[in-house]
C-alpha cells in the first residue's frame, strides 16, 4: 500500500517572483515584509525563499473585508500588536 504524501510536501512551492506577480506586489515589498514579520509565512532553504501556496491563500483569506472601515480597524489592530 502506497503511503499518503505529507501535506506540506504535496503543497506547491512558489518563488518570491511568482508570489509578487500573483498578488500584484513588487518583490521588494515581499522582501521588506519578511524582514518585519508581515506578509505570508515562508520557508528558507539556504538562500532560497519559497512560499507554500496554501500559506499565501491563508494570508489573503485573513485580509478579506466587507468595508474599508473594517479593513482600517484590522490594520490598526495588527499595527498595535506589532508594537
Q: 10-60, pLDDT tens digit by residue?
A: 799 999 999 999 999 999 999 999 999 999 999 999 999 999 999 999 999
Could you give all domains of the chain from N- to C-terminal order, each with its CATH number? 12-82 (1.10.10)
pTM: 0.75
DSSP 4-45: PPPHHHHSPEE-HHHHHHHHT--HHHHHHHHHHT-SS--EEE
Query: Cα(76)–Cα(46) distance, rounded to whole angstroms?
Result: 34
In the predicted structure, residue 3 carries a pLDDT above the cut 90: no
Amino acid at each position: 500500500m502506497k503511503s499518503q504524501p505529507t501535506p506540506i510536501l504535496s503543497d506547491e512551492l512558489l518563488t518570491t517572483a511568482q508570489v509578487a506577480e500573483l498578488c500584484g506586489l513588487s518583490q521588494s515589498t515581499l522582501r521588506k515584509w519578511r524582514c518585519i514579520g508581515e506578509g505570508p509565512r515562508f520557508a528558507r532553504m539556504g538562500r532560497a525563499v519559497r512560499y507554500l501556496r496554501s500559506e499565501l491563500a491563508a494570508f489573503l483569506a485573513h485580509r478579506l473585508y466587507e468595508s474599508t472601515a473594517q479593513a482600517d480597524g484590522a490594520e490598526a489592530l495588527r499595527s498595535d500588536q506589532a508594537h
